[in-house]
Amino acid sequence: MAIHWDDQDEEQKPPGEKGEYCELCHKSGPWLTLLKCPMCHKYFCEACAYHFGGKDFCSAHCGNEFFFGGDEDEDG
């Protein structure tokens, strides 16, 4: 008997369920410590973490949003 594997090459297929891999660098593994962005709720590894204000965010953008809100009325 033959087993037919579907040869679908899905682009950018996540390496696992949400929360089981870093959504930024797509690393996954049991050794991976995942953090969750309190702003956008993405999961990311420590290598991708952006430390800001004593918290860990997925990006500087989320850190800013978290502490300073979305209304950026800056005019340079």
Q: Given the rule CB under 5 A, which residues bind Zn ion?
A: 22, 24-25, 37, 39-40, 42, 45, 48, 58, 62
Contacts of 39 (CB under 8 A, 6+ apart): 57, 58, 62, 63, 65, 66
* Nearest-approach distance from CB 2 to Zn ion, in angstroms: 38
* Nearest-approach distance from CB 4 to Zn ion, in angstroms: 34
Helix (H, G, I), strand (E, B) or coil at 73: coil
Indicate the residue among 4 and 27 with the shorter CB distance to Zn ion: 27
Indicate the residue among 11 and 21 with the shorter CB distance to Zn ion: 21
Handedness of CA 51, 70, 41, 8 (dihedral sign): negative
* Nearest-approach distance from CB 6 to Zn ion, in angstroms: 28
